[in-house]
A = this chain, B = another copy of it.
Amino acid sequence: MSRGTPKPLSGFPEFLPAQREVERQVIEALSRTFELHGFANIETRAVEPLDQLLRKGETSKEVYLLRRLHEESEEGHAGMGLHFDLTVPFARYVLENAGKLEFPFRRYQIQKVWRGERPQDGRFREFVQADIDIVGQGELPFHHDVEVTRVMLHALGTLTSPDSIGLPGFTLQVNNRKLIQGFYLGLGISEDDGGVENTMRVIDKLDKMPEAKIRELLRDEAGLSDEQVDQCLALAAISAEDDSFADQVRELGVTHELLDEGLDELSALVRACAPLGNDRVRIRAELKIARGLDYYTGTVFETRLDGHDNLGSICSGGRYDALADDGRTTYPGVGISLGLSRVLVPLVNKGLLVADRTVPSVVLVALPDEESRVASDAIADSLRANGVPCEVAASAQKFGKQIRYAERRGIPFVWFTDRDGNHQVKDIRSGEQVDADPQAWLPPTNDLKPTIVRTDNQ
């Protein structure tokens, strides 16, 4: 038994039923789209051995460790931690099951992840991510980079459709690591002393720092000359909705084999994906995107939610030429991870998105008196047999009260049966009441499941 009045735990968002319905419909729409593209669903366990989790240097401080309450040895302490993303567990899953999987392996995974950080604005300790990845065994042709981009654009297009969830629009920003690295190398920045890596790390902070500070860091930390700084900033300023970015890059006069490769890949990606854009979902070559983490080796993605720049990138990823390696075989991959909670929790908490009812029930079967419960249950079962979610009134109150019971939950129909066994169903939104047969009656299709209501003008 639970006692007292508990308070919410900061960083661990939870939804009321009508809010959870928004999340469920988003997950359903994503799953549906991913499956239309042949992606299989998997789930991995919540825990990973700590040595796996700590490989990805930067995030190690955010890991939650597990310990059994009455653990006697200290061993349990350091043995396992909760996963902080879905990429590390997926890479482990691929290696563990490589002999049983068919490659290229397309999978999607929608699960909670945990990060033990101090919860700040928009930061969660528990949140849901939706990841798609394609992994090859030994090799993975570039066309799969195009494929994952198309799939995510399709998915975001579905979520933003006014006929579906009606999320705000998205801009998927793409770049290519080969392009940046090749450009830096062509500028004479050295790879050996960490110059390329440091330059990329500083450029990645362009959105967070004033340009003067960036210039200073490029000079002092990456060791760039003033001319190199100018060129790097010129590259980072390039942005286009089509492949015209390539000409802009070439006008900077830098040449390198790797730059050419990157330009070719990014151009091909933008050409293949731009036609999928519309007024809600756009793809854009954005040459300042670098992604801090160091394992990306080609295409990189970030995504902005229109009108919610403060959320940062809500959908990121890229190509990694070595997602996993078992000593004999390398598994290259390309994938994108959508921060579901990062998008939904703020919108839902502000009341911008909510379901129009708090229960799945389309019909409340009214109860004339407690003795009629068996008959009302039978009516409800007839409706359910036709796929109509419904519930029988909890008590035999006056019909006016039963109607208000339905209203409070957003249930659109109330079913009445008189003493002679005549059935009528009332749409309590319009007040219209008509004869109906419990074996045959169906509500309008739109009423079968809760509708997500979007209110931008709150």
Contacts and interface: CB of A to CB of B under 8 A. Distances in A.
Interface in A1-47: 1-9, 12-17, 20-21, 24, 35-47
Q: Which 4 A-B pairs have the closest CB atoms?
A: A38-B391, A2-B91, A68-B116, A35-B360
10 contacts: A1-B323, A1-B325, A20-B40, A20-B43, A24-B41, A38-B390, A66-B66, A68-B116, A102-B359, A154-B384
A323 to B, nearest CB: 6
Interface in A368-413: 373-374, 377, 384, 387-391, 394-395, 408-409
Contacts of A47: 9, 12, 126
Task: Give the interface size class of chain A.
Answer: 35 or more
Nearest to A8: B96
B20 A41 contact: yes
A322 B1 contact: yes
Interface string A69-82: 11100000100111
Contacts of A358: 40, 102
A1 B324 contact: yes
A5 B328 CA distance: 10
A5 B96 contact: yes
B70 A61 contact: yes
A5 B95 contact: yes
A39 B384 CA distance: 13
Given A42-B15, A361-B38, A4 B95 contact: yes
A52 B4 CA distance: 10
Nearest to A324: B2
Interface in A59-110: 60-71, 77, 80-82, 88, 91-97, 100-102, 104, 106-107
A63 to B, nearest CB: 5
Contacts of A66: 64-66, 82, 116
A327 interface: yes
A441 interface: no
Contacts of A45: 9, 12-14, 126
Nearest to A2: B91
A320 interface: yes
A443 interface: no
A346 to B, nearest CB: 17
A114 B17 CA distance: 24
Given A14-B42, A39-B359, 15 more contacts: A1-B55, A1-B325, A2-B55, A2-B95, A2-B323, A3-B326, A15-B42, A16-B101, A20-B40, A20-B42, A21-B40, A37-B390, A38-B391, A61-B69, A65-B66
